[in-house]
Amino acid sequence: MKVTYFQQVPYRQLPDDFEKRFESVVTTPYFELTTSENVAAAFREALDELMHAARSGFDGLTVTEHGQSSYDMVPNPDLIESALAYATEIEELPTAIYPVGRSLGKSREPLRVAEELAMIDCISRGRLVSGFPVGLAYDANINNGVPPAQTRQRFDENLELVLKAWKAREVFPWNGRFAQHAAVNIWPRPVQQDPLPPVWITGIGNPRTMQMSIEREFGFNYFGWFGLKVAGRRIFDRFWEEVERAGKDANPYRLGFMQSICVADTDAKAEALYAKHAEYFFRKAVGSIPMERLALPGGIDIRGVEALMRDPGDFGIYDKLRTVTFAELMDAGALVCGSPDTVVEQVTAHAREYRIGNLHAMLQFGSMPHSLAKDNIDLFAEQVMPRLRQLWTDQGYQHHWWPLRLGGIPLPAAADVQAIAAPIGAQA
Amino acid sequence: MTATTQPVATEKVVVVWDNTIRLRVKVVGQGPALVYLHPAGGLLWDEFLSRLAQDYTVYAPEFPGTSPADPYAIHQVHDLWQVVLMYEEALRKLNIGTPVLIGQSFGGMLAAELAASYPDRFSKLILMDAIGLWRDDQPVVNWIAAPPSQLPALLFADPEGPAAKMMFASPADREDAIAARAGMVWAIGCTGKFIWPIPDKGLQHRLHRISAPTLIVWGELDKLVPVSYADEFASRIYGSKVAVIADSAHIPQLEQTDTTYSVVKEFLHLSDRHAPSLVGADS
Q: Is the Cβ–Cβ distance between B234 and B218 less than 8 Å?
A: no
B144, B178, B181 ranked by CB distance to A296: nearest: B144
User: A297–B74: do the CB atoms touch at under 8 Å?
Assistant: no
Number of domains in chain B: 1
User: A297–B71: do the CB atoms touch at under 8 Å?
Assistant: no
Strands A335-338 vs A255-263: parallel, antiparallel or unpaired = parallel
User: A425–B183: do the CB atoms touch at under 8 Å?
Assistant: no
B145, B146, B190 ranked by CB distance to A149: nearest: B190
Q: How many CB atoms lie within 10 A of CB A53?
A: 31
Give residue B277's pLDDT: 39
Q: Is the Cβ–Cβ distance between A418 and A410 less than 8 Å?
A: no
Which residues in chain B are closer than 8 Å to A299, comparing Cβ atoms? 189
What ipTM was estimated for this complex?
0.89
Give residue B235's pLDDT: 98
Beta strands (DSSP E) in A244-391 are 255-263, 335-338, 358-362
R_g (Cα) of chain A, nearest Å: 20
User: Which H or E run includes B189?
Assistant: helix B174-192
**From the candidates B170, B196, B198, B201, which should be mutated to test the interface with A, based on the most A CB atoms within 10 A?**
B196
Residue B45 has pLDDT above 60, yes or no: yes
User: A302–B182: do the CB atoms touch at under 8 Å?
Assistant: yes
User: B193–A150: do the CB atoms touch at under 8 Å?
Assistant: yes
**From the candidates A153, A208, A309, A319, which should be mutated to test the interface with B, based on the most B CB atoms within 10 A?**
A309
Compute the nearest-CA separation of B171 from chain A (Å).
15
Specify if B280 maps to a domain: no
DSSP letter (8 states) at residue A249: -
Which residues in chain A are closer than 8 Å to B186, comparing Cβ atoms? 297-298, 302, 305
Grade residue B275 by pLDDT with cuts at 50, 70 and 90: very low
pLDDT tens digits for range B49-59:
999 999 999 99
Cα separation, A228 vs A362, whole angstroms:
14
Q: Is the Cβ–Cβ distance between B196 and A141 less than 8 Å?
A: yes
Q: How many CB atoms lie within 10 A of CB B85?
A: 15
Give residue B67's pLDDT: 97
Give residue A414's pLDDT: 59
B188: left (phi over 0), alpha (psi -120 to 50) or beta: alpha
Q: To 5 degrees, how large is the angle CA B191–CA B207–CA B38? A: 30
Cα separation, A97 vs A318, whole angstroms:
30
Give residue A413's pLDDT: 73
Cα separation, A143 vs A141, whole angstroms:
6
The reply to whether the predicted model has a pTM over 0.90 is yes
Give residue B85's pLDDT: 98
DSSP letter (8 states) at residue B67: S
Specify if B118 maps to a domain: yes
User: B189–A148: do the CB atoms touch at under 8 Å?
Assistant: yes
Q: Residue A96 — φ and ψ, nearest 5°? A: -75, 140
Report percent pLDDT > 90 for chain A: 87
pLDDT tens digits for range B86-123:
999 999 999 999 999 999 999 999 999 999 999 999 99
Contacts of B144 (CB under 8 A, 6+ apart): A148, A296, A297, A298, B40, B188, B189, B192, B196
B146, B182, B192 ranked by CB distance to A149: nearest: B192
Q: To 5 degrees, how large is the angle CA B128–CA B129–CA B135? A: 140
User: B193–A298: do the CB atoms touch at under 8 Å?
Assistant: yes
* DSSP per position, B96-123: --S-EEEEETHHHHHHHHHHHH-TTS-S
Cα separation, A360 vs A155, whole angstroms:
23
User: B189–A150: do the CB atoms touch at under 8 Å?
Assistant: no
Task: Give me chain B's average pLDDT, please.
Answer: 93
CA atoms lying within 13 Å on the CB side of residue B272: 8
Which residues in chain A are closer than 8 Å to B189, comparing Cβ atoms? 148-149, 296-299
Residue of A nearest to B192 (CA): A147
**From the candidates A294, A305, A311, A427, which should be mutated to test the interface with B, based on the most B CB atoms within 10 A?**
A305
B148, B182, B189 ranked by CB distance to A298: nearest: B189
* Chain B positions touching chain A (beta carbons under 8 Å): 71-72, 74-75, 78, 144-148, 178-179, 181-183, 185-190, 192-194, 196-197
Homologous superfamily (CATH) of A2-415 is Luciferase-like domain (3.20.20.30)
DSSP letter (8 states) at residue A426: -
A296, A309, A310 ranked by CB distance to B145: nearest: A296
Compute the nearest-CA separation of A246 from chain B (Å).
25
Cα separation, B130 vs B229, whole angstroms:
8
Residue of A nearest to B70 (CA): A302
Cα separation, B146 vs B143, whole angstroms:
5
User: A427–B189: do the CB atoms touch at under 8 Å?
Assistant: no
User: B189–A149: do the CB atoms touch at under 8 Å?
Assistant: yes
Which stretches within B193-256 are classed as H helix?
Answer: 228-236, 252-255
Which residues in chain A are closer than 8 Å to B146, comparing Cβ atoms? 292
Residue of A nearest to B40 (CA): A297
Find the mean pLDDT for residues B254-280: 75
Is the C-alpha dihedral spanning A42, A45, A51, A52 positive or negative? negative
pLDDT 10s per residue in chain A (428 long)? 999 999 999 999 999 999 999 988 888 999 999 999 999 999 999 999 999 999 999 999 999 999 999 999 999 999 999 999 999 999 999 999 999 999 999 999 999 999 999 999 999 999 999 999 999 999 999 999 999 999 999 999 999 999 999 999 999 999 999 999 999 999 999 999 999 999 999 998 889 899 999 999 999 999 988 999 999 889 999 999 999 999 999 999 999 999 999 999 999 999 999 999 999 999 999 899 998 889 999 999 999 899 889 999 899 999 999 999 999 999 999 999 999 999 999 999 999 999 999 999 999 999 999 999 999 999 999 999 999 999 999 999 999 999 999 999 999 875 555 544 444 433 33
* DSSP per position, A21-56: H-S-TTS--HHHH--HHHHHHHHHHHHHHHHHHHHT
Q: How many CB atoms lie within 10 A of CB B73?
A: 21
User: Number of A:B CB contacts under 8 A?
Assistant: 68
Q: In which order are the strands placed within the sheet that holds B57-61?
A: B9-16, B21-29, B57-61, B33-37, B100-104, B124-128, B214-219, B241-245
User: B188–A141: do the CB atoms touch at under 8 Å?
Assistant: no
User: B72–A427: do the CB atoms touch at under 8 Å?
Assistant: yes
* Chain A positions touching chain B (beta carbons under 8 Å): 141-142, 145-150, 177, 290-293, 296-299, 302, 305-306, 309-310, 425, 427
Q: Is the Cβ–Cβ distance between B230 and B220 less than 8 Å?
A: no
Q: Is the Cβ–Cβ distance between A85 and A116 less than 8 Å?
A: no
Residue B278 has pLDDT above 90, yes or no: no
Which stretches within A198-323 are classed as H helix?
Answer: 207-215, 233-245, 267-284, 291-294, 302-310
Range of the domain at B247: 9-271
CA atoms lying within 13 Å on the CB side of residue B230: 21
CATH classification of the domain holding B233: 3.40.50.1820
Which residues in chain A are closer than 8 Å to B190, comparing Cβ atoms? 149, 298
User: B192–A177: do the CB atoms touch at under 8 Å?
Assistant: no
Which residues in chain B are closer than 8 Å to A305, comparing Cβ atoms? 182, 185-186
Q: Residue B219 — φ and ψ, nearest 5°? A: -75, 125
Residue B276 has pLDDT above 70, yes or no: no
Angle at which helix A110-123 crosses helix A77-90, to 10 degrees, equals: 10
User: A306–B182: do the CB atoms touch at under 8 Å?
Assistant: yes
User: A298–B147: do the CB atoms touch at under 8 Å?
Assistant: no
DSSP-based three-state secondary structure for A373? helix
User: A292–B148: do the CB atoms touch at under 8 Å?
Assistant: yes
